[in-house]
Amino acid sequence: MAPHHKRVRAGRLAAGAVVVAASAALASGPRAGVGVVPADDARAPAPVPAPATTPAPVPAPATTPAGGERPPAFGAFLGSDARGVARMPLFSHWLGGAELRVGHTYLPGHRWRDIEGAPGFLDAWAHWRNQDPDRMLVLNVPLQERNEEGVSDDEVRRLLRQGAAGEFDHHFRALAERLVGLGVPDTVLVLGWEMNGTTYTHRCGPDPQAWKTYWNRIVTTMRSVPGQRFRFDFAPSRGRDAVPWTECYPGDDTVDIIGMDSYDQPAGMPFDRQVDEPYGLRAHVEFAKAHGKAVSYPEWGLFRNGDNPEYMRRMLAWIAEHRPLYHTLTDYCPHGVWRCADNPRSAELYRSFLAGGADGATPAPASTPTPGPAAPAGPAVPPPPEGCTPLDLGSWVEHWLGGKLCLRFDWWSRDR
């Protein structure tokens, strides 16, 4: 999953119809509940939650690691652009001052110019990273443009073979040069995440051999840029999905970290099954150990089972036991705990475990900060108004509008 999880896609004709309707609504004034906001943070519609399963209680993990070691570096996905950086101190304050050592963002996958790292997009993240040498920047990188546009398997197969032949090398060289130039040559790069699924154009299933060859070309190209110290994270989604993720593994020479995106899904699946299913959590850590690689959890969070503190408790315990290089919670509905009010029980558990300071050793209550302006590390971008949902109409429409179209779905009931 990406910041815009499995969203409903619409073609340009549908988008055009929305623009026409929105234009009329904009002309009618603020009561129509439509506006334009800078692009970022389009939220996926929350699925209807299934009843949370309640297996036998499992004790919450101890917050002090054995031997006084520091806990794994952690963070949360809070937005892709400068607003994600601006929210980090607020999230830390909510956790009682716990240190977020990981900043996690995604390059857009609309066009190649986005994947190369458009000028200005990564500046705030680089500034945040360079304020403290102990911090880690994690960047998800799409391997194809039109990455969430429902491209057919035949087209994906053709694109993978083009990539394997080197036709896209220059885009990844440009990205590597951009990152080195910004002073973040040690960025963790999550290339082509969840490649074992069906959502993305960068999926592996249509031609696993071409996919592996393409990955190896990308890594070789980016490592050839002077000054780089990148680490490359191979991160499938948990379980078999469309293909076993082991069939996509490109080899130890071009992988530094073996990650896994692991949400609380499907509906009704208990955590023990998430551990022991084929290609699940246990298979992941055993595979990484056999290949001598660190593990990570670039994306995890609630999903199909609603506000499920049992999942939250067990996932935190799993992380504490297996000590990944880093982990980052996806913090928007339906997955999150701070920016999503739908999961209060899980939020309290997450907060009590991670609150209390940089070492997480002393959980303590933390007051929720009063929302207010935060000074971002880069150019300030105002968040969308409360209750206003940005619509993803595609880059060409957003360029015409000057940002995302923001629609209030409750406009008809306001002031009544």
Q: Is the pLDDT of residue 5 over 80?
A: no
Distances (CA, A) of 405 to 37, 38, 78, 134, 358: 6, 9, 20, 38, 39
Q: Is 145 known to be catalytic?
A: no
Residue 404's closest CA among 13, 24, 125, 15?
15
Name the catalytic one among 99, 116, 145, 194. Answer: 194
Catalytic residue chosen out of the listed positions 99, 145, 148, 299 = 299
Token code pair at residue 319: 């992380």
Instruction: Label residue 302 by pLDDT band (50, 70, 90).
Output: very high
Residue 356 pLDDT grade (very low, low, confident, very high; cuts 50, 70, 90): low
Residues of 129-141 as b/e, b for ≥16 C-beta within 10 angstroms? beeeeebbbbbbb
The answer to whether the beta carbons of residues 208 and 158 sit under 8 Å apart is no
Q: What's the confidence (pLDDT) of residue 22? A: 42
Alpha carbon 205 to its chain centroid, in Å, reads 21
Greater pLDDT, 414 or 298: 298
**Per-residue model confidence (pLDDT) at position 69:** 75
What domains can be seen in the chain, in order of their start residue?
12-41+387-413 (no CATH), 66-354 (3.20.20.80)
172-186, 350-364, 391-405: the lowest-pLDDT one: 391-405
In the predicted structure, residue 220 carries a pLDDT above the cut 80: yes
- Note the pTM of the prediction, 2 decimals: 0.75
Q: Which of 399, 388, 377, 389 is nearest to 83 (CA)?
A: 377
pLDDT confidence of residue 27: 37
Dihedral, CA atoms, 149, 263, 73, 290, nearest 10 degrees?
Answer: -90
